[in-house]
Chains A and B, each alone.
Chain A
């Protein structure tokens, strides 16, 4: 390795050190070229390459400080005067000592840089143009990205005859993958190999973006140093950013040597101003393609780049269009029956189709519907709970296990998740899933060791390019912008539908409530109006009994008794219905009162001592105060006690206990009896209107417990019953 100023090399080696190597001011050019630089005003030569004496009969010391216009005779000197920017002028062909050279000049950072390179096989520029237009036509004929890459690789190989031509594409981490390759048959294929970002460091990528095309004509030849006129220039090495013959960094040369590469041609593939990838050509012996050829390569690469952008845009446009069409289909479907779950997940078009996901779910009104390969409902619920914690109302990840620390069980269906919450409450969501994509990534050498450190603490690039395979897990395919946009648009549509639906439901609710109120008023007045005819039935049955009883046979007598009994029952029923609607309609007025006193009062009111002399009643005098509508609670207690009395009447020793207890940290009053009880499974039924578990031997309309429940509900309290057939029942209640 040549003796370079050691200060230019990083002293401490790390993965990113290479990034800092100032490769544009290394002060050397490749050995096939010659360089002169002068002040663009005075034409005084301030820099020249050490090999310049091979071209002119003067040595380096004589040339430095002299006029470039003296050195290069007319018409070349005149042409130089026309150079005024970093845009390179058309090269000038000239002959020195019987050898053809191309002279290429440009201005950069205050220097007029003049480079000469041998020009060995001048060919017909028109023939080139023909070939080029053929190439362009070929590229235009394909739209598929991979095919385009393959064609381009083949074309470049044909055109410039390098041993290996690779299309190298950068990913989001600037790791590169060989996506297409054209090579001599005897060479090993590098297709699919991945190179870590450090192999083509950031400042090299920047130069590619600026220069477009770049060659190394002979990796093994020693670069030529550039001499400067005086100390000033020596302190400011010449900037060779857009020089044609700039020498490569020793690290890069070493890297190529490790790969046994003899010469390279590299062109930048630029898509929308960003470096998309490179066309990298390797030759296993020295090879110089001339300036014109390099320009053709640059042109070809530009055509390729623009085709690439165009085709990508077209593909995207098609996908966006498809997503939009499908979205409107979905909405049309939903608007038919307002069933969002069904509309999004069933039938021909589903929410799955607007993205490239493989599974999707909609979570709405506590119900989940899925389509495609989705996790279990339980897993989805868990996932949504987790995603809720995020600040955003939409979450996208292509590596759920890593981004949200979920268990591995989810990753097969949901390594990729796109979740959009439908409202700020985050109770409902649209979710798309992409499965784990187990990918074997083949690195060109161990990516963890891109550099080695030699005994002088200098970076040296990797020595081994043996393939290195790594299995990558937990990741899904990426989510594309168009998918996210389509999902967001769908979310907006669904939110609107939900809002509409909500308004509709609200309206329906009002109607329903009105209808219910009407119904209660109606049943109240019906019950009421039944009184008069019933009085008639009862009255005339009584009259028949008074006047004609003796004339009737036994059947007639029992018929009259039945009519009278039935009307008694019906009157009871009317009483209960009226009572029920009264409870429903009356306003609640809460107060503090003593429950023990209230129970005592009820017991007295029910004439228990007279009517049920065998029944023992115990009242826990230490019951706490109650807070509620005393009149209603009195009615509640009366119902519960009447019930207890009714169902214990056939017991040997009827016992009713009234007290207070704590259950599941809740306070309850209770009324416990040792009566007939019932099977616990009927618990819900027992509170239902008109529902009765017993036969006619126990009178009742089946409204009493419904009224009791109403009263408790009006207090926002709770009532429940614990019972066992034959053992008795315990009613527990509190007043909220």
Chain B
């Protein structure tokens, strides 16, 4: 795989995946976005050599993904001390805060509710890149 700057998105909602892909294409050309749609595959990928060789610059992790939920994926990922500088932003479709504390304890760097509209998402994604990738 060609060396590239990419963002890893762990997200199962195909609409959201399509919207994010589109936003990256049009507005964030410097970064690619790669999607994984369930927790198990995400953990497999994190443990793989491919991941070691080419780590993402930022992980967007939906808290509710199938097979293994987002918090579990986060826990597994943070076991890897070597990746501690990779920021993880937890995405929640709920604005209830019950999982927020857990996420921070497990090593999330940020916790955010998914934007309600496309235009908000268009603003949010570049902001995340600017804030978390140095």
Q: Which residues of A contact B (CB under 8 A)?
A: 528-529, 531-536, 538-543, 546, 567-568, 571, 574, 578
Residue of A nearest to B22 (CB): A543
Q: Is the CB of B15 within 8 A of A536?
A: yes
Bound: A9/B15 CA distance, A: 120
> Within 8 Å of chain A (Cβ to Cβ): is B95?
yes
CA distance A136 to B118 in the complex (A): 111
Task: Known contacts A531-B114, A571-B117; decide if A539 and B19 are in contact (CB<8 Å).
Answer: yes
* Contact flag A528-B22 (CB < 8 Å), given A533-B15, A539-B121, A567-B117: no
Q: Which of B26, B94, B95, B117 is within 8 Å of A535, CB to CB?
A: B117
Are A538 and B15 in contact, with the CB atoms below 8 A?
A: no
In the assembled complex, B54 has its CB within 8 A of some CB on chain A: no
Q: Which residues of A contact B117 (CB under 8 A)?
A: 535, 538-539, 567-568, 571
Roughly how many angstroms separate A533 CA and B18 CA in the complex, as a whole number? Answer: 12
Nearest neighbor of A529 in chain B, beta-carbon distance:
B93
- A346-B116 Cα distance, complex, nearest whole Å: 61
Residues of A contacting B26 with CB < 8 Å? Answer: 546
Interface: B119 (CB within 8 A): yes
A366 CB to nearest chain B CB (Å):
43
The reply to whether A535 and B121 form a contact with Cβ atoms under 8 Å apart is yes
CB contacts (< 8 Å) of A567 on chain B: these are: 117
Q: Which of B5-28 contact A (CB under 8 A)?
A: 13, 15-16, 18-19, 22, 26
Interface centre among B19, B22, B118, by most chain A C-beta atoms within 10 angstroms, is: B118
Q: Are A532 and B93 in contact (CB-based, < 8 A)?
A: yes
Task: For A540, list chain B residues within 8 Å (CB).
Answer: 19, 118
Q: Tell me if B118 and A538 are in contact (CB < 8 A).
A: yes
The reply to whether B114 and A539 contact each other, CB–CB distance below 8 Å, is no
- B16, B94, B95, B119: the one contacting A542 at CB < 8 Å is B119
Give Cα A538 to B13, complex, Å. Answer: 15
CB-defined contacts of A542 to chain B, threshold 8 Å: 118-119
Q: Is the CB of A535 within 8 A of B16?
A: yes
Interchain nearest-CB distance for A585 vs B (Å): 10
What is the minimal beta-carbon distance from A576 to any residue of chain B, in angstroms?
A: 13
Tell me, in angstroms, the Cα distance from A334 to B106 when the chains sit together: 63
State whether A532 touches B118 (Cβ < 8 A). Answer: no
Q: Is the CB of B15 within 8 A of A539?
A: yes
Q: Which residues of B contact A534 (CB under 8 A)?
A: 116
* Cβ of B18 to closest chain A Cβ, rounded Å: 8
A529 to chain B: which residues have CB within 8 Å? 93
Known A539-B118, A571-B117: A532·B94 in contact at CB below 8 Å: no
Main secondary structure of the interface of A (DSSP, over half): helix
B residues in contact with A533, CB < 8 Å: 15
Q: Are A536 and B19 in contact (CB under 8 A)?
A: yes
Number of B residues near A (Cβ < 8 Å) is 17
B residues in contact with A528, CB < 8 Å: 93-94
**B95 contacts A578, CB within 8 Å?**
yes
Can you list the 8 inter-chain pairs with the closest CB atoms, starting with the nearest? A539-B118, A536-B15, A539-B19, A542-B118, A538-B118, A538-B117, A571-B116, A532-B13
- Taking A536-B18, A536-B19, A542-B119 as given, write out 20 further A-B residue pairs in contact, using a Cβ cutoff of 8 Å, ordered by the A residue number: A528-B93, A529-B93, A531-B93, A531-B114, A534-B116, A535-B15, A535-B16, A535-B19, A535-B116, A535-B118, A535-B121, A538-B117, A538-B118, A540-B19, A541-B118, A543-B19, A543-B118, A568-B117, A571-B116, A578-B95
List 23 A-B pairs, Cβ < 8 Å: A531-B93, A531-B114, A532-B13, A532-B16, A532-B93, A532-B114, A533-B15, A535-B15, A535-B16, A535-B19, A535-B117, A535-B118, A536-B16, A536-B18, A538-B118, A539-B15, A539-B22, A540-B19, A541-B118, A542-B118, A542-B119, A543-B118, A546-B26
> What 0/1 readout, one digit per residue, does chain B (102-117) give for beta carbons within 8 Å of chain A?
0000000000001111
Closest residue of B by beta carbon distance from A545:
B118
Specify which chain A residues have a CB less than 8 angstroms from the CB of B16 in the assembled complex: 532, 535-536
Whole-angstrom distance between the Cβ of A290 and the nearest chain B Cβ: 111
Which residue in chain B gives the minimum CB-CB distance to A532? Answer: B13
| Neighbouring B residues of A531 by C-beta, 8 Å | 93, 114, 116
A546 to B22, CA, bound (A): 11
When C-beta atoms are compared, the residue in chain A nearest to B116 turns out to be A571
CA distance A546 to B117 in the complex (A): 15
Instruction: List the B side residues contacting A538 at CB < 8 Å.
Output: 117-118
Q: From B19, which residue of chain A is reached at the shortest CB distance? A: A539
* B45 smallest CB distance to A (angstroms): 24
Q: Closest CB-CB distance, B83 to chain A, in whole Å?
A: 29
How many Å lie between the Cα of A415 and that of B83 in the bound state? 96
CA distance A526 to B52 in the complex (A): 40
- In whole angstroms, how far apart are the Cα atoms of A87 and B116 in the complex? 113
**A524 to nearest B CB, angstroms?**
9
Q: Which residues of B contact A539 (CB under 8 A)?
A: 15, 18-19, 22, 117-118, 121
Interface string of B14-48 (1 = CB under 8 A from A): 01101100100010000000000000000000000
CA of A134 to CA of B18, assembled, Å: 117
Contacts of A568 in B (CB 8 A): 117
Q: Which of A539, A568, A571: most chain B CB closer than 10 A?
A: A539
Asked if B15 and A532 make an inter-chain contact with CB atoms under 8 angstroms apart, the answer reads yes
Interchain nearest-CB distance for A582 vs B (Å): 9
Question: Quick one: which of A529, A535, A568 has the most chain B CB within 10 A?
Answer: A535
Q: Which residues of A contact B93 (CB under 8 A)?
A: 528-529, 531-532
Chain A residues positioned under 8 Å from B15 (CB to CB): 532-533, 535-536, 539
A528 to B116, CA, bound (A): 10
A373 to B80, CA, bound (A): 90
CA distance A543 to B21 in the complex (A): 12
Q: Which of A535, A546, A574 contacts B114 (CB 8 A)?
A: A535
CA A578 to CA B121, docked complex, whole Å: 21
- Which residue in chain A gives the minimum CB-CB distance to B120? A535
Look across to chain B and name the residue whose beta carbon is closest to the beta carbon of A525. Answer: B94
Contacts of A541 in B (CB 8 A): 118
| Minimum CB distance partner of A533 in chain B | B15
A531 to B19, CA, bound (A): 14
Question: What is the CA–CA distance of A535 and B115 in the complex, to the nearest angstrom?
Answer: 8
Interface centre among B13, B19, B121 (most CB of A within 10 A): B19
Which residues from A are CB-within-8-Å of B121? 535, 539
Bound-complex Cα distance A116 to B63 (A):
124
Nearest residue (CB) in B for A570 is: B116
How many Å from the CB of A580 to the closest CB on chain B?
Answer: 14
Q: How far in angstroms is the closest Cβ of chain A from B37? A: 14
**In whole angstroms, how far apart are the Cα atoms of A533 and B114 in the complex?**
12
Chain A nearest CB, measured from B21 CB (Å): 11
Chain B nearest CB, measured from A309 CB (Å)? 83
Residues of chain A contacted by B114 (CB below 8 angstroms): 531-532, 535
CA distance A571 to B119 in the complex (A): 13
CB-defined interface of B65-106 with A at 8 Å, one 1/0 digit per residue? Answer: 000000000000000000000000000011100000000000
Say how far B33's CB is from chain A's closest CB, in angstroms. Answer: 15
Instruction: List B contacts of A536 (CB < 8 A).
Output: 15-16, 18-19
CA distance A58 to B95 in the complex (A): 132
Chain A hits for B18, CB < 8 A: 536, 539
Q: Which residue of A lies closest to B23 (CB)?
A: A539
Rounded to whole angstroms, the CA-CA distance of A538 and B115 in the bound complex is: 12
B63 CB to nearest chain A CB (Å):
13
Closest B residue to A567 by beta carbon equals: B117
Q: Which residues of A contact B115 (CB under 8 A)?
A: 535
